[in-house]
Structure 1
Amino acid sequence: MTPKQYTLELVKRGYKVFPLVPNTKRPIKDQSYLTASNDLQIVAKWFDDLPQANLGLELASKSLIVVDIDNHNSTSIRDTMQKLTDQGCKLPAETYIEETPSGGLHFFYTGTVPIKRVTNFIPNVDLLADFTVIAPSAINGDAYRSISNEYTYNNIAKAPQWLIEAMSDKPKQFYSSDHPTLQAGKKWTGKRLDEIVNGVNAGGRNTWLTKQVGWLISTGAELETAYTITQQINRDYISPPLPDSEVNTIFKSVVRKEATKYEQHSK
């Protein structure tokens, strides 16, 4: 089955998809999970125009949640899953699971949660409820693939309760017994960090990021540090992320504005 045929079969079952630049996780111009479609003609044309396109899946319309376990460092998948289990966050294996090109795993579950993602829930684990890259997408010759013929999109398991809570607007905190929950009052910096992690969707992305950049610079951190964090905020907490050129424009604009304010204050 060709990528186009596979995608059209998903679309026939009501799943919304969007095209990605071949060999990347990046949406093609003017496309994102916000423009995802389950219109057969529209989707077919995407693949007619770009046969090697990778594939993104919009999750919310099907109440899907994906637990994304990375395999990008020395920590093994097994160790990461054990850490989840130790914190009361066991992952049911009786569901659809895809292996990623890097050797990571995507566990698919169903559940009604806000359209968002929780990045770095624990190290190497992200929780996704907005979109994900799926098979048969490929990166550098390695493809996303189902790890079992027994489980498909037709029998995705219900999300465990801890996952529903973790994706809620006020997620429950999971700590081991030697790391108690902090009870002290939340300071202004903590509130701002919470605001960043909660992220933003398409509406107001520029204004929101400008606000965060202004705060980062106001902390007195080196501009290189502020810029590095700005890039991470855009990558992990803005859906879909802004183009790099737009992030650079926002950052430079805020730097100029802060410099002007400093000069005026110094006179």
Structure 2
Amino acid sequence: MPVKQSPQLRAALWYARRFHWHVFPIRPRDKAPLTAGGFYNATTDQAQIRHWWQQWPDANVGIACGASGLVVIDIDAKNGAGGLESWADLRQELGSDIDDTPTVETPTGGLHLYYAAIDRSIRNSTSQLANGIDVRGEGGYVVAPPSEHPEGGTYNWALNCGPHECELDPLPEGIAERLRGPQKLVLDSDSSNGSGDAIITTGQRNATLTSLAGTMRRRGMTCDAIVAALLAENSARCSPPLHDDEVTRIALSVARYDPVLDPEHLTDMGNSRRLVHLAKDDLRYVPQWGWLWWDGRRWARDTSGAAMRCARETVQAIRSEATRREDEAERAALEKWAKTSESLARIRAMVELAQSELEFVADVEQFDTDPMLLNCLNGTIDLRTGRLRPHSRADYITKLAPVEYVPDAAHPIWT
């Protein structure tokens, strides 16, 4: 019996095939990417998309805006953000037809309006367009239907406003002009604190705090330390300050990345360690069997090149790492090494060296040790209790019964 496709996988394949939108997997009921390269890994390749959702069947769907030629207007309605009111004012000023474009309804009452990017000059911003309205463009991404929201509920296309029902309009020029306006730091020379530090204004807060968080993470600071530092910086310099939960989200997003290796570790061994950071939860190497990968239900023999795909993702992550480097020499060295690492010889060397990494190495005797666990498509049954529980890497199961367990199913033959 073929494994069922999740609604998220069907949607991801549809977005990529029909609209050429670049998609990537996001953590279930979350907004954080699952791959180390995040939206830089986004693709329209159907095989890669299927591979991701085999690894993470419940993953949410992310769309990389810049690569997809999109600008998305994010109208926030929760906690009195005022986004809907601001949008009503913009409609009155710029015309009521500015929202005749594919539209997503968010579980918190907000809206995501999808537009075709006129060019690639529109980048992410927070409340620069208007109070309670964020923008996702070049360098950003959105969570797409039918993904699940962290607070419950799902993202849905508005009635008659799906991308197959409503023409994708170009970003209205009136909006584009506002977003292309100057974004600058205003020096608060008269500040009462006398520090002389630059005040971070609307439109720069997220980018500045993200850059600061990246610097701290590269220096090995813990997530808690980054959160504390960003909250202090937000309070002291951001005008107006971001909500604490938004600042914490920035810190958590950056802290997902392991502290980067020093520039001198741009070697095959360094790449092997990077592969560990990327795939230590999803790959195992058994000398007698070769590579195994976690397909979301079991540890399966790697007959489809999963280890090599993870190695390619590692190379993409090096490129992503380069963009987060502030030092020009370090950034140039990383970009050069990323290009070198694209060769088949370097990728093979990375995978071969990784076979001896302790995080990957496993013994045959670790697998299938509990005969009272029966692995099914929808979970693992503990035959001692009859309880169905979620699939778990820690069970080290390699077998899978190609059926779903239905506790209340009729069984007339056995009565």
Q: Which of 73, 82, 89 is residue 79 of structure 2 equivalent to?
A: 73
Is 1:148–2:153 an aligned residue pair?
Answer: no
Q: Which amino acid aligns with 1:159?
A: L
Q: Which of 174, 180, 183 is residue 162 of structure 1 equivalent to?
A: 174
Counterparts of 1:114 and 1:135 in 2: how far apart (Å)?
26
**What is the correspondence of 1:33-48 to structure 2 with a 5 Å cutoff?**
33-48=39-54
CA spacing shift, 1:228–1:209, aligned 2, 3 Å = farther
Counterparts of 2:49 and 2:209 in 1: how far apart (Å)?
23
2:13 is matched with: 8
CA spacing shift, 1:75–1:24, aligned 2, 3 Å = closer
Q: Which is worse superposed, 158-167 or 61-70? A: 158-167
| TM superposition shift of 1:196 | 4.2
CA spacing shift, 1:186–1:74, aligned 2, 3 Å = closer
Q: Which of 107, 127, 132 is residue 124 of structure 1 equivalent to?
A: 132
Is 1:50–2:56 an aligned residue pair?
Answer: yes
Counterparts of 2:180 and 2:10 in 1: how far apart (Å)?
35
User: Do the aligned partners of 1:67 and 1:126 also contact (CA within 8 Å) in 2?
Assistant: yes
Aligned sequence identity (%): 21
Counterparts of 1:201 and 1:33 in 2: how far apart (Å)?
19
CA spacing shift, 1:126–1:224, aligned 2, 3 Å = closer
1:145-183: CA deviation from partner (whole Å, max 9, x where unpaired): 111235415721111112212332636xxxxxxxxxxxx
CA spacing shift, 1:244–1:98, aligned 2, 3 Å = same
Counterparts of 1:23 and 1:86 in 2: how far apart (Å)?
35
1:18 is matched with: 24
CA spacing shift, 1:115–1:201, aligned 2, 3 Å = farther
3-state SS of 1:26 partner: coil
3-state SS of 2:79 partner: coil
Counterparts of 1:54 and 1:100 in 2: how far apart (Å)?
14
CA spacing shift, 1:75–1:26, aligned 2, 3 Å = closer
Answer 1 or 2: higher relative contact order, Cα 8 Å, separation at least 6: 1
CA spacing shift, 1:23–1:4, aligned 2, 3 Å = same
CA spacing shift, 1:125–1:150, aligned 2, 3 Å = closer
Q: Which is worse superposed, 185-194 or 46-55? A: 185-194
1:1-51: CA deviation from partner (whole Å, max 9, x where unpaired): 832122112111321111011111111141411111111111101111211
Counterparts of 1:198 and 1:227 in 2: how far apart (Å)?
12
**What is the correspondence of 1:77-92 to structure 2 with a 5 Å cutoff?**
78-85=84-91, 92=98
CA spacing shift, 1:190–1:82, aligned 2, 3 Å = farther
2:148 is matched with: 138
1:206 is matched with: 214
CA spacing shift, 1:76–1:16, aligned 2, 3 Å = same
| TM superposition shift of 1:208 | 8.5
CA spacing shift, 1:245–1:133, aligned 2, 3 Å = closer
Q: Under a length normalisation based on structure 1, what TM-score does the superposition of the two structures give?
A: 0.67
1:180 is matched with: none
1:99-150: CA deviation from partner (whole Å, max 9, x where unpaired): 0111110011112233621112232110110211110101254111111235
Q: Which amino acid aligns with 2:145?
A: A
Unaligned runs of 5+ in 2: 1-5, 190-195, 219-227, 236-241, 260-415
User: Do the aligned partners of 1:114 and 1:169 also contact (CA within 8 Å) in 2?
Assistant: no
| TM superposition shift of 1:228 | 5.3
User: Do the aligned partners of 1:95 and 1:109 also contact (CA within 8 Å) in 2?
Assistant: yes
3-state SS of 2:200 partner: helix
CA spacing shift, 1:223–1:235, aligned 2, 3 Å = closer
Query: Which structure's CA Rg is the greater one?
Result: 2
Counterparts of 1:76 and 1:197 in 2: how far apart (Å)?
19
User: Do the aligned partners of 1:20 and 1:26 also contact (CA within 8 Å) in 2?
Assistant: yes
**What is the correspondence of 1:97-116 to structure 2 with a 5 Å cutoff?**
97-111=103-117, 112-114=119-121, 116=123
User: Do the aligned partners of 1:113 and 1:164 also contact (CA within 8 Å) in 2?
Assistant: no
CA spacing shift, 1:244–1:28, aligned 2, 3 Å = closer
Counterparts of 1:73 and 1:198 in 2: how far apart (Å)?
19
Counterparts of 1:117 and 1:91 in 2: how far apart (Å)?
23
